[in-house]
């Protein structure tokens, strides 16, 4: 009985010493090289935008995109979408004839409002579920994101983003 206790104690001491030795030397067995990154960036072009962003609409949407088949179960993807649309006025469209001066006041006829951009915010969106995609997940999800982006544009128009931008 004493003999087994001594063997167990010896095994435990060996395990503790082995763990300490591994912890102290584990970096020795890994290949760690010095990291280096170089860039040769050049400014290609400077472009004057002239767009005055005035209104930003944020949207949430649940998108169910389905491809129907005749003989096999339909492919389906469900996305939780976050997106935005921005209304703006393009100041580059102002012409000299749009500017009038009366006394010490200058009047500028502003261009019509427009939607600068609409997009899906991929950091805040996620794929919730996919079913029967038949190894076509990427295309199915891509189609769903494109449909969601088009719906963001349509929702912005339906919610009067141009009138809000004009105001």
Going residue by residue through the chain (167 aa), what tens digit of pLDDT does each one get?
A: 667 677 777 787 788 777 777 666 655 555 556 777 778 788 778 777 789 999 999 999 998 888 888 888 878 888 999 999 999 999 999 999 999 999 999 999 999 999 999 999 999 999 888 887 777 788 888 888 999 999 999 999 999 999 999 98
**Backbone angle region of 145, left / alpha / beta, with phi > 0 → left and psi within -120 to 50 → alpha:** alpha
CA distance 153 to 54: 16
The 10 Å CB-count burial string (b at 16+, else e) for 64-78 is ebeeeeeeeeebbbb
Q: Which residues have C-beta within 8 Å of that of residue 155, sequence separation ≥ 6?
A: 57, 59, 61, 85
pLDDT in the model for residue 12: 79
Q: Following DSSP, what letter does each residue of the chain receive, concatenated?
A: -HHHHHHHHHHHHHHHHHHHHHHHHGGGGS--PPP---------------EEEEEEEEEEEEEEEEE--SSSPPEEEEEEEEEEEEEEEEGGG--GGGEEEETTEEEE-PPPPEEEEEEE-TTT-EEEEEES-TT-HHHHHHHHHHHHHHHHHHHHHHTTHHHHHH-
Is the pTM here over 0.75, yes or no?
Answer: no
Res 127: pLDDT = 86
| pLDDT at residue 16, rounded to an integer | 76
């Amino acid at each position: 009985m004493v003999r087994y206790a001594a063997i167990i104690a010896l095994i435990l001491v060996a395990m503790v010493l082995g763990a300490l030795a591994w912890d102290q030397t584990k970096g020795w067995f890994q290949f760690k090289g010095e990291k280096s990154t170089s860039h040769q960036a050049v400014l290609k072009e400077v472009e004057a935008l002239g767009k005055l962003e005035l209104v930003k609409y944020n949207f949430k949407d649940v998108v169910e995109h389905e491809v129907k088949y005749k003989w096999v179960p339909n492919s389906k993807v469900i996305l939780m979408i976050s997106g935005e649309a921005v209304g703006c006025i393009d100041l580059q469209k102002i012409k000299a004839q749009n500017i009038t001066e009366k006394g010490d006041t200058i009047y500028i006829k502003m261009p019509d409002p427009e939607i600068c951009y609409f997009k899906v915010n991929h950091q805040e969106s996620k794929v919730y579920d996919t079913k029967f995609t038949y190894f076509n997940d990427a295309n199915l999800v891509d189609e769903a994101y494109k449909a969601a982006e088009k719906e963001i544009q349509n929702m912005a128009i339906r919610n009067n983003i141009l009138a809000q931008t004009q105001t």
